[in-house]
Amino acid sequence: MSFEIWLTYLATVLAFMITPGPSHLLMLSNSMTHGFRPALATAAGDLTANALQMLAAGLGLAAILVASQHALEIVKWLGVGYLLWMGMRMWRQADHAKSDMGAARSASRRALWGQGFFTSAANPKAVVFFAALFPQFIDPSQPFVPQFVLLSVTYLIVDGTFLSTYGASAGWIAARLKGRATAFVHRLGSVFLIGAAFMLGLKTLRDA
């Protein structure tokens, strides 16, 4: 793979990342309510799911997912429901945010990782996306594995950078809000989660 082709791929990924997706909104929410450092587990969960999706695309499993349309729809709507439930629960708990802030910030990193992983995995068509994207930049005259690894690592680094930037910004703002403002932080985080659910649901309806 030439450097010029890699730069074109990088520009494509950056353009794709410009609009925040459900995982980015989840990162914003968790950084505001739990702090940036704990929320890095959310980013790790998202990137883990992405890595598995890219591996599945590389192994040719995209065709299986496309064929299993019914199972695909079920997984996607489960993801929508999960995000919506988390958002509504956070909104209801906003009035108790001040007294519960310590508990919120001590949330299990395993739970935060699971949220990031499930939110990304709830979009199984990402496998199809990677299966369609990668061949555009892979030179068939060169070994497949090194090119596949380079494309995958590049995507993960870019996505991780965006997630960290969103999370650090949200964490910085939340850390400077005290007292009653913590309820506002929870409600804003709730809006991000419900927005993520809406985005996933809209995409599911559009793809149907």
Question: In this predicted structure, what is the pLDDT of residue 95?
Answer: 58
Answer whether residue 86 shows pLDDT above 80. no
Question: In this predicted structure, what is the pLDDT of residue 42?
Answer: 92
Question: In this predicted structure, what is the pLDDT of residue 125?
Answer: 62
Question: In this predicted structure, what is the pLDDT of residue 200?
Answer: 64
Question: In this predicted structure, what is the pLDDT of residue 147?
Answer: 87
pLDDT tens profile 40-76:
999 999 999 999 989 888 887 555 555 666 665 676 6
- The average pLDDT across 77-81 equals 72
Alpha carbon distance 151, 138 (integer Å): 9
Question: In this predicted structure, what is the pLDDT of residue 157?
Answer: 95
- The average pLDDT across 164-168 equals 88
Give whole-number Cα distances, 40 to 102, 116, 125, 128, 189, in Å: 18, 9, 24, 27, 16
Mean pLDDT, all residues of the chain: 76
Question: In this predicted structure, what is the pLDDT of residue 104?
Answer: 47
Number of helices and strands (H, E) in the chain?
10, 0
Answer whether residue 97 shows pLDDT above 60. no
The pLDDT confidence band at residue 1, using thresholds 50, 70 and 90, is confident
Question: In this predicted structure, what is the pLDDT of residue 181?
Answer: 54
Residue with the two structure tokens 């499930």: 118
Question: In this predicted structure, what is the pLDDT of residue 48?
Answer: 95
pLDDT tens profile 112-164:
898 889 888 877 667 777 877 777 777 778 888 888 899 999 999 999 999 99
Question: In this predicted structure, what is the pLDDT of residue 103?
Answer: 45
The pLDDT confidence band at residue 101, using thresholds 50, 70 and 90, is very low
- If one compares 36 and 195, the residue with the highest pLDDT of the two is 36
Identify residue 161 by its one-letter amino acid code: T
Question: In this predicted structure, what is the pLDDT of residue 94?
Answer: 60
21 DSSP assignment: -
- Cα within 13 Å of Cα(50), Cβ side: 20
Residue with the two structure tokens 């959310």: 42
Answer whether residue 6 shows pLDDT above 70. yes
47 and 160 Cβ atoms separated by less than 8 Å: yes
